[in-house]
Amino acid sequence: MLTFKPYHALTVAVAFIAAACATTQAVKPTPAEAPVSVPEPAPVGNVFPLTMSVCPGMTVANRPATDADLMITAFSPFVQVNGKVTLATAPVQAACFSSGFGARSFGNHKGIDFYSPDAVDIYAAAAGVVREKTYRDDFGNMLVIDHGDGVFTRYAHLKDFTTGLAQGAMVKPGDVIGHMGHTSKYNVANHLHFEVLTGEWGSQAGSFALTPVDPMKLPAASAKAKS
């Protein structure tokens, strides 16, 4: 039995700070004529996990280094691609890291995997335009986002796509694009397969003409994903 708990300590801390700010706003004196309303607290942090753990009890290929609590020690929540595009490394609501990038027993893994037993939200890793939205036997429900500057991201095995999200739609970082699933033709665990791709869109091969890069090896970005 898996004992995975989808908690991210820092995200919880950020939520706590946001709640504390809302309380401070609520006790500010309000002019008598003004409508009495508490403004929505400004977004603090972002929706992306700021920490990441390796899935307990799983054999994780190309496993990153972790501490004793399975937290990935060199995890960067945001990375920079081509020196221009900032992406979230884990575009998922709550999940653990279940497979790394690179050679593994059954072929070359061109992305990284995140596991959850639940149909958690999957987010656009950065601003962009939906370039491809399709079903494939190998990737199930698959979405590719074009972030400009020759940078793309692929999201595979989605349970579903967000209603109304069509090819050509613009997305902001953190927009829910669908939910985690296991929709490939083959029997796979519920997970997100996430790829970061660079290069030029192929006239015939589309996203498969692009070069996959390991998101865990990209330089850390200090800023949050561009909006």
Q: In this chain, which residue has its C-beta nearest to Zn ion?
A: 193
Shortest separation between residue 103's beta carbon and Zn ion, angstroms: 13
Given the complex with Zn ion, which of 111 and 173 has the nearer CB atom? 111
Chain centroid offset of residue 211 CA: 19
Give CA angle at 97 (95, 103), nearest 5°: 150
Could you please report the per-residue DSSP string of 104-147?
ETTEEE-SEEEE-SS--EEE-SSSEEEEEEEEETTTEEEEEEE-
- The answer to whether 193 contacts Zn ion (rule: CB under 5 A) is yes
Shortest separation between residue 193's beta carbon and Zn ion, angstroms: 3
Shortest separation between residue 92's beta carbon and Zn ion, angstroms: 13
- The answer to whether 195 contacts Zn ion (rule: CB under 5 A) is no
- The answer to whether 110 contacts Zn ion (rule: CB under 5 A) is no
- Both structure tokens of 195: 């790829």
Given the complex with Zn ion, which of 11 and 115 has the nearer CB atom? 115
Shortest separation between residue 139's beta carbon and Zn ion, angstroms: 9
Cβ pair 198, 116 in contact under 8 A: no
Distances 210 to 113, 154, 204 between C-alpha atoms, Å: 19, 11, 11
- The answer to whether 113 contacts Zn ion (rule: CB under 5 A) is yes
Given the complex with Zn ion, which of 18 and 189 has the nearer CB atom? 189
Residue 54: strand pairing partners: 97
- The answer to whether 179 contacts Zn ion (rule: CB under 5 A) is no
Shortest separation between residue 192's beta carbon and Zn ion, angstroms: 8
List contacts with Zn ion (CB under 5 A): 111, 113, 193
